[in-house]
Amino acid sequence: MTNLEINNDLFAPPFCETVETFIAPIPGSRLETSNSFKIAGGWQYFNQLKVIQKYNDSYVEAVMSPSKLLSSSKTHSKSSLKRAEMNLDNILKKRLPYSKLDMSEPHIMGVINITRDSFYKNSQKNDYGSVKKTFEKMERFGASIIDLGGESTRPGSKKISASEEQDRVIQIIQSLKEHNYKSLISLDTRNFSTMKKGYRKGVDIINDITGFNDKKKIDFVSKNKTPIVVMHMQRDPENMQKNPKYNFAPIDIYKFFQKKINELIDMGVDLANIVIDPGIGFGKNKFHNLDILRNLSLFHSLGVPILIGLSRKSLIEELTIDNFKSRGINKSSVSPSKRLSGSIAFAMHAINNGVQIIRTHDVLETNQALICQRALI
């Protein structure tokens, strides 16, 4: 377990050189928070910050106002104040449009798996007719983006050839693009050759579970000004759930994205074309996933939109079984087809933390929950 102490005493002044400092807005409604600020220029507000510091292998967490953060940093040094201002500005600034989508409003990304072995069978579509029908239904129910994938990357899955993946998705993408749908098409692939072919057929977004781990990929999307989703994952799908380890998952993943965003920008990728995905369930155990979800707003200080995929994940099964051990609940009782309620609960948690894109198999149900929740703000 991570050595995280929660109190009001930090190791050192915020953003001084001797410790690492990270800040996360604490979300609340405009009515709940006086003198409030918008998170990322969006729909959620805050007036307090969670400040996390790392020193060696220990972490401490405290709460302070933005003005207190700045004054404490200024008292220490001008460089500390500059770092505090930069991080706070990243939290506050309105996100640039992403593939023409307004990031000051939440969006839904529907999921269509053109596979025979994805973990949720109801998402599997294996011919153009069924994909087209599902695509049109998702668009009608409010999906701004629809993510098409030709390779299962569920835990334990084995990699297929790029040619097999392309046989599944490329012609379908070409046929869909002929209809001028409003929903953007995202291609979920880790293969460089599939990215290139998908781009030539007109995909709007490339979603890479390997976090664009190859400079050829980065160079390609940079030259073509292609919007991307950068996901975090430990190892590969085949072995990613074999004893994953972190010092403190939210901070480790934050630092991965910090380094990756700098690399992308240095290679010419526009900041407006970058969305990050912490990768729930991809090389994380239950405790890692929960730590990430409890600290979701931390990622706003990276200055780019956030996507989260929680739909029907095994985390829902684990939590349900943990809480119903004495009532005869087993895995068959919470198979992927029976995890809708948990999926929506997590989606609303993400929305309440200002996450801009929710990736889901259940567009109608998620959008219905979102509409009802937004009506109460």
Whether the per-residue pLDDT at 239 is higher than 90: the answer is no
Confidence of residue 179 (pLDDT cuts 50, 70, 90): very high
Average pLDDT estimate for 210-234: 96
Q: What is the dihedral of CA 292, 296, 298, 303, to 10 degrees?
A: 120
CA dihedral sign of residues 67, 69, 70, 76: positive
End-to-end CA distance of the chain: 37
State pTM to two decimals.
0.94
Rounded CA-CA distance 299/296 in Å is 6
Mean pLDDT is lowest, of 11-15, 18-22, 353-357, 373-377, for 373-377
Which among 50, 201, 313, 339 is annotated as catalytic?
313
Q: What is the pLDDT of residue 337?
A: 84
Q: What is the pLDDT of residue 325?
A: 72
Give the residue extent of every domain in the chain.
4-92, 107-375
Q: Are 91 and 23 in contact (CB under 8 A)?
A: yes
Active site residue 313: yes
Q: What is the pLDDT of residue 121?
A: 56
Task: For the sheet with 184-188, list strands across it.
Answer: 274-277, 228-231, 205-208, 184-188, 145-149, 107-113, 357-360, 307-309
CATH no. for 107-375: 3.20.20.20
| Residue among 125, 99, 181 nearest 357 (CA) | 99
Residue type (1 letter), 18: T
Q: What is the pLDDT of residue 80?
A: 96
Confidence of residue 259 (pLDDT cuts 50, 70, 90): very high
* Segment 85-139, tens digit of pLDDT: 999 999 999 999 999 999 999 999 999 998 875 555 565 567 899 999 999 999 9
Rounded CA-CA distance 246/279 in Å is 14
Whether the per-residue pLDDT at 340 is higher than 90: the answer is yes
* Segment 39-63, tens digit of pLDDT: 999 999 999 999 999 999 899 999 9
- For the chain, give the percent of residues with pLDDT over 70: 93
* Segment 303-337, tens digit of pLDDT: 999 999 999 988 999 898 888 876 767 777 778 88
Confidence of residue 228 (pLDDT cuts 50, 70, 90): very high
- For the chain, give the percent of residues with pLDDT over 90: 75
Which among 197, 217, 339, 359 is annotated as catalytic?
359
Element (H, E) at 138: helix 128-140
Which is higher by pLDDT, 238 or 140?
Answer: 140
Q: Are 145 and 357 in contact (CB under 8 A)?
A: yes
Which is higher by pLDDT, 325 or 78?
Answer: 78
Rounded CA-CA distance 8/4 in Å is 13
93 CB-near residues (< 8 Å, 6+ apart): 40, 41, 303
To the nearest whole number, what is the mean pLDDT of the chain?
Answer: 91
